[in-house]
Amino acid sequence: MNLYPTIVAASGELGDRALRVLSPLWRQRLGPAWPALEVLEDQGLGPLEAGLGRLLDHQRVVDLQLSGHFLSQALNLVWVAQAHHPKLRSDLSRLADKPQGLLFGGRELRVHLVLLLPDLFALSQEEKAQAQENLDYLRPDPSALPATRVWPLSLRNRADLHLRSPEQVFPLIQHLVEACVRSQFPFHPAQAKGRDWAGLGVCRLEVAPPSKYVLAAQLWPVLCQTSMGSLVLPKPPPIPKPEPQQVLPEPPKRTNCLQHPDWEIDQPWETARIRLRDSYRLQVDELAFAFEPALPWEVAREALLLGLPALEQLEAQLAHALGETNDALKAALEPFDELFGLRDRRDRLKRLELRAEAGRPIPEEELEQLRGRLAELDALLEGPQIEELLARDPVAKGATQQLQQARARFEDNRKHWREQLEQPRPQEPRPPFWRRMIGLFWPSLRPRSLGVDAEELSRVRKRLCDAAWTELGAGHAQHQLLTQQQQLWLERWAKYRLIRVYRDALARERERCQTIRRLVAEFKLPAAGPPTRHPLVLRFEPPYIVPQTELEHRSKQLIQEGILELFWDRDLQGLEDRLLLEGERMAADLPLPDISELMDSEAWGAATLASAPRVMACHRPDHEAHGFLLGAVRPTRWLEPLTQQAEWLPGEGVLFRFVHPLAPDQIILADYGGMEPTSSPPPKVPSPAAHSLDERPNPLLEAIFDE
C-alpha cells in the first residue's frame, strides 16, 4: 500500500487542542500506517526539522517497507493555524527562507494550511485586525515556496449550515490528515506549485458497528431458557440406629447363698443408657451436619451450573418436598405433644396467630400460654433432655416405680438377712444342777434350748436368698424396660430432629432459589446510550440479528463456564460485564453490511449538504466544484466531477467536496459579534435565479397593476 509521509503541527490553542484530541484517533484508525504520520503536539512549527527527521528515520521507513507499505517521495505538512495568530507570517517566512533544510535532499514539501477563520473565536478588535492582516498576507501567489494550499475553515458552509462550536470542525482536520497519509489527496488541481486557496468540506459515511448492548440483550433471553440438565434433591438423612457394639447388661447370675447378694445392677444400666443417649446424639449430629446453615446446602448453586430452567425445576421440587416434610415433621412431633398434653395445640396456636395477624379478636391468655408451653417442649427437644421425657412417660414412670419398690424390698430382705443370719444370737443361761440331773435320767424332761437349730437356719437362709435374687431379677427387668423406653424416645427424637433439619435445609434452599429468581427477574442489562451525533458524520444503524443457533451455542458455553453462578454470589455487576464481553465477541464476528446498500438518494442528498465546503465565499464564474470519495461506496446521486479511491477502512466512506480557486477577498466572514469582510466587498453580482425572477415578463401581473 502506498503511504504519503505526513507531519502535523498546530499554532494556537484551538489547533493544539485538536491535535491532542485527534492523535489517539489517528493512531487507532491508521493502524500499521501510523508510523507514516508525525504529530507535533503543543510545539508549533519550531521543531519541524526534528519532526521530519523522526518521520524519515531509517529504521522507521524500513519497518514500513517490511510491513508491505511504500512511502512516497513527497512530504505533506498539515498546519492547523488560527487566522489571528501573531506568528503566522513569521512561520510562513521561515518555511520560505529555508527550503533546502526542509526538503531533505530534494523531496517535495506540500503544505496544507488549515486556516481557522475568525468566526470560530470570540476575538478582540486587535485580534480581528491581526486576522485581517494575515489574510491579506496569504493571498494567492503562484511563485510562493513551498507549495501551499490554504484551506479556510468557518462555522458556516456554502450550504449555509452552521456548526454550534469550533470543536465540531475537528472531523474535517482528522480526515484531511488521514487522507494525506493514505491517499493521493488533491492538492493543486491545475498546478503543482505556489500558494492558492480552496474551500474544503467533509462528511463521513459510516455503518454503525454492532452494539455489544444490543447483542447482549439478544443473548440474555436465550441464556435464561437454556438448560444443561436437571438436579435431583438429596434424600433425607436416615434415622440412626444404636451402635452394633452396644452391649446391654446381662441378667444377674445367681451364686451361693453363703452371703446376701449386693444391689449392683443400677450402675451398669445407667452407664448403658448414657452410652445409648450419646450414641444417638453423635450420629444425629453427624447426619445433620451436612444440612446445617454453617455449611450451606448448595443445591441452588449446583442448579445454576445447569441453567435457569434447572433452578425453576429445583424450586418446584423443593416446594413439593417441603410440603411432604412438614407433614412428616408434624407426625414426628405428635408423640411429644401428646406426652406433654399438647395434642393438636400447635394447630390451635397457628389458627390463633393467623387470627391475630388478620386483626380479629383472640384470647390473649390462651395464646401466650400455648406459646410458652410449646416453647418449653421445643427447648426440651433440642438436647434432648431425655430424663424429662422419661419422667412423663407412663411406661417409664411405672418401670421407675417398680424399680424403686424392688430396691426397697431388696433392702428390707437384706435387713432380715442381717438380723437373722449375721447378727450373733443371745447366750442362753445355764440350767440349774437339779434340772440337768433330771434330764440325764428322763430325756423328755431335759431343758430345751432357746436358739434356732441348723435346719431352721438353712431354711431361713434359702428363703431370704431366693427373695434377694428375685428382687434383683425384677430390678433388672425394670431397668431393661426403662432402657427400652429411653431408646424408643431417642428414636422418636432422632426422627424429629433429622426431619426438622432436613425441613430447615429445604426451606433455606427454597428461599435461596426465590432470592436468585428474584435477582434474575430484576436483572436488566444496561441499554446502549443514545448514539453520538455529529453534523459532519452520516451514520447508518442497520439491525444486527445473531442466528438462534449461535445464541444457543454461546449460552451453553457460558453456562458451562459458570456465568449463572454469579447470581449465587450476587455479583450482578460481574454478570453484566461478562454478558457485555460476550456481546463484544459476537460483534467482532458479525460482518458489516455494504454501506452502498444503505445509501439511497436521500442519504446522498444529506451527505452533499453536510460536505459542502466549510467556508462562505462569494460565487465566481471561475469557481470549480469537485469531489473526492474514499471507500467502496457507489454514489447514486452526484453532479460534480468525482475522484474515488476504493481502498479505505471497512464500513466507512469519507466524502470531500472542494471549491477552487478562492481568494481572501471572496471570503464572507459571519459577524457573530464579529468581523467585517477582510477587504471591501466586491460588487454584488445577482444570481441567475434572482435575475430571472426580477426581469422575467409576467403579463398577468402587469395587467393587474395597470388596473
Q: How many residues does the chain have?
A: 707
pLDDT at residue 594 in the model? 87
Taking only the tens place, the pLDDT of each residue in 415-463 is 887 777 766 555 556 667 666 667 666 665 555 554 556 777 788 878 8
* Averaged pLDDT, 234-238: 79
* Averaged pLDDT, 214-218: 95
pLDDT band, very low/low/confident/very high, at 677 (cuts 50, 70, 90): very low
Of 481, 469, 471, 473, whose CA–CA distance to 273 is shortest? 481
**Residue 102 · residue 49 · CB < 8 Å:** yes
pLDDT at residue 685 in the model? 34
Please give the mean pLDDT across all residues of the chain: 82
Query: How open is the CA angle 13-17-20, to the nearest 5 degrees?
Result: 140
**Cis omega (within 30 of 0) for bond into 384:** yes
pLDDT at 290 over 70: yes
- Give me the percent of the chain exceeding a pLDDT of 70: 85
Question: Among 22-31, 201-210, 249-258, 281-290, where is mean pLDDT lowest?
Answer: 249-258
CA dihedral 556, 558, 564, 570 (to 10 degrees): -170
Taking only the tens place, the pLDDT of each residue in 593-603 is 888 888 888 89
* Averaged pLDDT, 497-504: 88
Of 657, 658, 633, 652, whose CA–CA distance to 644 is shortest? 633
**Rounded to an integer, what distance in angstroms lies between the CA atom of residue 474 and that of residue 465?**
14
pLDDT at residue 699 in the model? 47
pLDDT at residue 38 in the model? 93
Of 208, 261, 221, 314, whose CA–CA distance to 537 is shortest? 208
**Rounded to an integer, what distance in angstroms lies between the CA atom of residue 558 and that of residue 578?**
9
Residue 230: phi and psi, rounded to 5, are: -130, 165
CA 48, chain centre distance (Å) = 50
**Rounded to an integer, what distance in angstroms lies between the CA atom of residue 45 and that of residue 596?**
41
Cα–Cα separations (whole angstroms), residue 269 to 130, 281, 478, 483, 487: 117, 18, 10, 8, 13
pLDDT band, very low/low/confident/very high, at 683 (cuts 50, 70, 90): very low
**Rounded to an integer, what distance in angstroms lies between the CA atom of residue 629 and that of residue 642?**
7
pLDDT at residue 22 in the model? 96
Domain boundaries, the chain: 2-198, 210-535+552-589
* Averaged pLDDT, 678-684: 38
pLDDT at 686 over 60: no
* Averaged pLDDT, 559-588: 94
* Averaged pLDDT, 547-552: 94
Taking only the tens place, the pLDDT of each residue in 156-215 is 988 888 899 999 999 999 999 999 999 887 765 555 578 899 999 999 999 999 999 999
The 3-class secondary structure across 231-245, one letter per residue, is: CCCCCCCCCCCCCCC
- Comparing 638 with 162, the larger pLDDT belongs to 162
Taking only the tens place, the pLDDT of each residue in 34-82 is 999 999 987 777 778 888 888 888 899 999 989 888 888 888 999 999 9
- Alpha-carbon Rg for the chain, nearest whole angstrom, is 54
**Rounded to an integer, what distance in angstroms lies between the CA atom of residue 531 and that of residue 540?**
11
pLDDT at residue 434 in the model? 67
